[in-house]
Amino acid sequence: MKSIVILISGRGSNMEAILDAGLRLNIKAVISNRPDATGLAMASRRGIATRVFDHSAYASREAFDAALAVGIDSVAPDYIVLAGFMRVLTEGFVARYPMRILNIHPSLLPAFGGMHTHRHALATGVKIHGATVHFVTSHLDHGPIIIQAAVPVLPHDDEAALAHRVLVVEHQIYPQALRWLAEGRITFKENNVVEIRDLNVSSDIGDQQLRMPME
Ligand code: GAR
């Protein structure tokens, strides 16, 4: 069975969706860069080991990432799962775990990398928005895409309404990406384009990602 550590910074709703999915993955630890992350208590209640590396206690990004790497390596996971982990990782850290770090980002990448994705989507006037699960590379928010889901942007949306609609699909696609990972079905084509082996469109992806949920 493959193993993961989950990195969070806050409430951990994506982490919870992953834990609830009953995946065949050994979850070795949940690590936060913030001692006040509410997701930590939720992980503890489920019997998962938690650790905190408070980024504010380190003199530099490199020093924080070095400590984080030691913590991660002490449990030797196969993959690192960023679930609302709000720190940009250094190139050195990313290079240490090539194609072994996954992230969820609240936009349809490559559109709206970085912060405040829902605000930018509303300001730009796109009519479709969504979320992306991808591998992390040194090019921020540009690594190989595993799965995406789209939602409509509706006329009276504000940031909170749009964020909520996107979060619903985040909770579907992250467990699905990790299910494929657990099953060893994620493969790479030329240019690191991800292909899911034996993809069954209706059972693997389902209506949510194929049809706009307008109703
Ligand atoms: C999620 O919307 C996730 O996509 C986003 O933070 C939120 C965390 O929520 N991540 C990023 O913006 C990463 N750049 P959660 O703590 O409830 O999972």
Question: What's the CATH code of the domain at 3?
Answer: 3.40.50.170
Q: Could you give the number of structural domains in the chain? A: 2
Q: To test the ligand 1 pocket, which listed residue (170, 173, 174) has its Cβ within 8 A of the most ligand atoms?
A: 170
pLDDT score of 212: 47
Q: Are residues 25 and 93 in the same domain?
A: yes
Q: Are residues 161 and 189 in the same domain?
A: yes
Residues flanking ligand 1, CB < 6 Å: 8, 10-14, 83-84, 104-106, 167, 170
pLDDT score of 203: 83
Q: Are residues 160 and 54 in the same domain?
A: no
- CA distance readout (Å), 194 to 133, 199, 206: 11, 12, 19
Crossing angle of helices 159-182/13-20, nearest 10°?
40
Among residues 55, 105, 118, 129, which one is catalytic?
A: 105
Q: Are residues 119 and 54 in the same domain?
A: no
Query: Known catalytic residue: 105?
Result: yes
* Domain stop point among 97, 115, 149: 97
* Domain stop point among 70, 97, 124: 97
Mean pLDDT by 10 residues, the chain (215 residues): 98 98 98 98 98 98 98 98 98 98 98 98 98 97 97 98 98 98 97 94 71 45
**pTM of the shown model:** 0.96
pLDDT score of 207: 60
